[in-house]
Copies of this chain bind each other. A is one copy, B any other.
Amino acid sequence: MKKIEAIIRKTKFEEVREALLDAGIEFFSFWDVRGAGQTREGRMYRGVVYDTSIIERTLLSIIVRDKNVEKTVLAIMKAARTGEIGDGKIFISSIDESYRIRTGEFGDESLYIKGKEE
């Protein structure tokens, strides 16, 4: 099992979600983050400019079975790209164990719905 964390533009969320659904990835969590990176947006407050590299981004956290890593990454890559600085990053790490709270299922089983997918 892998955890895929994607930091994307807030405005790209809907597209990424649809791309993930198309790729068969239906489960994930996400939240708003702010990112420091190459993009700079000048803000100003009452005449004082505050240089800020602080941009609103959405972080998606998706735990998938190993076999699904590639298609997930590809789906995100395609949907989230604008080609301009600030498109974001995808990070992959290992998950040791996973449980579904409702049923107590664990391991890969906890990551898909039996019957829905082989």
Give the interface of A toward B (CB within 8 A): 1-3, 6-8, 17, 26-38, 53, 57, 59, 61, 63, 73, 76-77, 80-102, 104, 110, 113
Q: How close is A83's CB to chain B, nearest CB, in angstroms?
A: 6
Closest chain B residue to A77 by CB distance?
Answer: B101
A3 proximity list for chain B (CB < 8 A) = 91, 93
Q: How close is A54's CB to chain B, nearest CB, in angstroms?
A: 9
This chain's copy number in the assembly? 3
Closest chain B residue to A88 by CB distance?
Answer: B101
Closest chain B residue to A116 by CB distance?
Answer: B38
**Docked CA distance A99–B108 (Å):** 24
A30 proximity list for chain B (CB < 8 A) = 33-36
A95 proximity list for chain B (CB < 8 A) = 91-93
Closest chain B residue to A73 by CB distance?
Answer: B99
- For the complex with contacts A26-B37, A26-B38, 19 further pairs of A-B residues with Cβ separation under 8 Å are A1-B91, A3-B91, A8-B101, A27-B35, A28-B36, A29-B35, A29-B57, A31-B32, A76-B101, A77-B104, A82-B102, A85-B102, A86-B102, A87-B100, A87-B102, A90-B98, A92-B98, A93-B93, A94-B94
